[in-house]
């Protein structure tokens, strides 16, 4: 029986190693300029994942990532709610309320693989594609604006457009994959 547990533990370790870097990157952006600590957010997300690991381990990498994203978003929103009602507080596991609205976003994205995503990025207009890639590498708006020699505001609208186009490219595929009508916005 102990072997079984060691195997489970190794599996979970591998799961953390796989997902932690990208999750932490996202957490840092969410917690910027707040008292929230990105590591806490990620830590609590993985604690939750450990409880659900029985289900998660059987799912695709994309589905697991989408689940982690939803869970972390929930924890973040919970933090925001607490900030609003109290002036103190860190996110707390017991206070999280799962929102019904999360289901749609998660279901849409858990069917998209990284390969499909890379292909979709290739199909963006060149300046949107390049700006989006620079941003994904962690560059700030000002750095991207310098690179292209455009105003900072332009970078913001390019990124917004790039994301809109990516959704338009990816989500119809999802809709087809689900054999449903493409009704997502």
Q: How far apart are CA 39 and CA 65, in angstroms?
A: 17
CA distances for 91 relative to 31, 107, 146, angstroms: 12, 25, 37
Min CB(131)–other proteins separation in Å: 12
Site residues for other proteins, window 87-126 (CB under 8 A)? 90, 93-94, 96, 99, 101-102, 104-106, 108-109, 112, 114-115, 117-118, 121
Min CB(176)–other proteins separation in Å: 18
Min CB(185)–other proteins separation in Å: 9
138 or 180: CB nearest other proteins? 138
The reply to whether 177 sits near other proteins by the rule CB under 8 A is no
Site residues for other proteins, window 140-159 (CB under 8 A)? 140-141, 156, 159
117 or 148: CB nearest other proteins? 117
104 or 179: CB nearest other proteins? 104
Q: Give the DSSP H or E segment for 35.
A: none
Site residues for other proteins, window 2-41 (CB under 8 A)? 2, 4-5, 9-10, 12-13, 16-17, 20-26, 28-35, 37, 39
Helices (H), the chain: 2-31, 38-51, 53-56, 61-85, 102-109, 114-122, 126-136, 141-148, 152-177
What is the Cα 128 distance to its own chain's centre? 20
Rounded to 5°, the CA angle 136-141-143 comes to: 90
């Amino acid at each position: 029986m102990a072997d079984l547990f060691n195997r489970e533990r190794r599996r979970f370790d591998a799961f953390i190693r796989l997902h932690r870097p990208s999750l932490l990157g996202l957490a840092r952006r969410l917690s910027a300029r707040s008292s929230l600590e990105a590591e806490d957010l990620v830590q609590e997300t993985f604690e939750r994942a450990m409880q659900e690991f029985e289900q998660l381990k059987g799912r695709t990498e994309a589905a697991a990532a989408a689940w982690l994203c939803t869970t972390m978003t929930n924890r973040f929103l919970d933090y925001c709610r607490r900030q609003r009602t109290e002036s103190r507080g860190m996110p707390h596991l017991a206070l999280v309320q799962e929102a019904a609205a999360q289901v749609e976003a998660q279901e849409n994205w858990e069917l998209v693989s990284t390969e499909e995503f890379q292909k979709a990025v290739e199909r963006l207009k060149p300046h949107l594609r390049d700006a989006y890639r620079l941003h994904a590498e962690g560059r700030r708006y000002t750095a991207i604006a310098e690179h292209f020699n455009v105003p900072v505001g332009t970078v913001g609208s390019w990124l917004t457009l790039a994301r809109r186009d990516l959704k338009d490219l990816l989500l119809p595929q999802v809709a087809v994959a689900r054999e449903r009508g493409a009704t997502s916005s």
